[in-house]
Amino acid sequence: MPFADRLNNVETSAIRELFKLLGKPGIISFAGGFPDSAMFDVAGIQDAVNTALTEEPGAALQYGATEGYNPLREQLAAFMGSKGVSVEPDGLIVTTGSQQALDLLGKTMIDPGDKVIVEGPTFLATIQCFRLYGADLVSAPVDANGVDTDALEKLMAEHKPKFVYLIPTFGNPSGAMLSLERRKKVLALAVKYNTLIVEDDPYGDLYFNEAPPPSILSLSKDVPGSRELIAHCGSMSKVLSPGLRVGWMIGPAELLAKATMCKQFSDAHTSTFAQATAAQYLKAGRMPATLARVRKVYGERAVTMGAALKRELGDAVEFTQPQGGLFFWARLTGAGGKTKDAGEFAKRAIEQGVAFVPGAPFYAGNPDMATFRLSFATADVGKIEEGVGRLGKAIEAIAQH
């Protein structure tokens, strides 16, 4: 069958392939990138559904505007306002998850051969999405404080990218948090090189102790000329429910207009029923309590996983303890003659009954084969202890061969 050439640029998700191995009974999975369903505020969502169907059943069940259901846009504008971002309801569009926002950016911004700078490592679906539209991806290195802004500047000067894509707060997979100093540098670079910065922020509300620095979008008010060079993508998936598929994008009016046009072609609008539910949930004021609960639970799990990794794997692995989000990003050191191949480690781990994701697929180029991602979100403290113990056995099994 003569499929479009653009599909030649995209590989099947390595994570999806890995999930085929997870049917084995007793597997403890640190592989997924999703929240714990036990954390969902089912009662609150049920109340929101009932209120939506009682107060505005016609609007909730009818076709809606492509830009989004206005009561939700008003609630999202207020939600962003609570985080230091001044935005009018018509200054954002509602998307079907933040994943659709990335797709709309690809559709509206990327011509085949365009350079786009991403973090190395970055969100796997972003790599696949932007490549689908023909982007030539360039990786900027990441450390514990997020993207290396000195390296980023050199890459921007050399490649003159169409845009730069960052997950500055507890990124997937790196878990890194971009420092305040570097956030300000990113804004300065946007202005200096007149280049759009895409700030993807699905995890920023999932901090464990201190709140992270303000978003790049929030800080743009202090850097003249930068606000029109920021596209900010948000999501309810990690904090409320992925099943609602509610995300949003804030950006320059011209970009939002083009994105709305493309969205009209793809899905007409995000489910009005889901939008009305999310709007009523936010209006009811339940989000702060929900966030407090998930921060506490995920924070405990992250502490447990960090301690277990140090105890069970010792100097065979290095990592930075995450301060929020859902992920550990770790690297095999090869200490004591142990393996530095995360792919081999993943296979041995499956044999021991535990799964994680090797790091190589998260790189647009020059993958670090020693890296891997662990999610602590869906396993309770006991399962984390047991699962990391199995990782210790897996690494010993490799060393003995």
Q: Following DSSP, what letter does each residue of 265-314 receive, concatenated?
A: HHHSSS-HHHHHHHHHHHHTT-HHHHHHHHHHHHHHHHHHHHHHHHHHHG
Task: Determine the average pLDDT of the residues in 207-213.
Answer: 97
The continuous run of DSSP H or E covering 246 comes out as strand 246-250
What's the whole-number mean pLDDT along residues 178-206? 98
Q: Please, which residues have CB within 8 angstroms of residue 1's CB and are 6 or more apart in sequence?
A: none
Reply yes or no on whether the pLDDT at 372 is more than 70: yes
The sheet with strand 327-332 has its strands ordered as 317-319, 327-332, 371-375, 357-358
**pLDDT per position as a tens digit, 104-161:** 999 999 999 999 999 999 999 999 999 999 999 999 999 999 999 999 999 999 999 9
Q: Which of 15-19, 167-171, 285-289, 320-324 has the lowest mean pLDDT?
A: 15-19
Provide the mean pLDDT of the chain. 95
State the average pLDDT over residues 339-355.
94
Q: List alpha helices for 316-380, DSSP H.
A: 342-351
CA distances to 4, 208, 238, 295 from 303, rounded to whole Å, are 47, 10, 19, 12
- On whether the pTM is more than 0.85, the answer is yes
- Confidence (pLDDT) at 22: 58
Which residues are CB-contacts of 2 (< 8 A; sequence separation ≥ 6)? none
Return the pLDDT at 19: 61
Non-local CB neighbours of 294 within 8 Å, separated by 6+ positions: 35, 39, 206, 239
Nearest to 262 by CA among 96, 383, 396: 96
Amino acid (one-letter) located at 263: K
The pLDDT of residue 17 is 58
Establish whether the linkage from the previous residue to 173 is cis, with ω within 30° of 0.
Answer: yes
Spatial contact of 26 and 353, defined as CB atoms under 8 Å apart: yes
Alpha-carbon distance 188 to 193, whole Å?
A: 9
Strand partners, 188: none
Q: Write the pLDDT tens digit of every residue in 28-65.
A: 999 988 999 999 999 999 999 999 999 999 999 999 99
Q: Write the single-letter amino acid at 336.
A: G
CA dist 171 and 322 (Å) reads: 10
Q: What is the structure's pLDDT at 7?
A: 82
DSSP-assigned beta bridge partners for residue 165: 118, 198
CA-based torsion, 335, 119, 178, 287: positive or negative: negative
CA distances from 254 to 164, 258, 260, 261, 372 (A): 18, 6, 10, 11, 39
Mean pLDDT computed over 263-286: 97
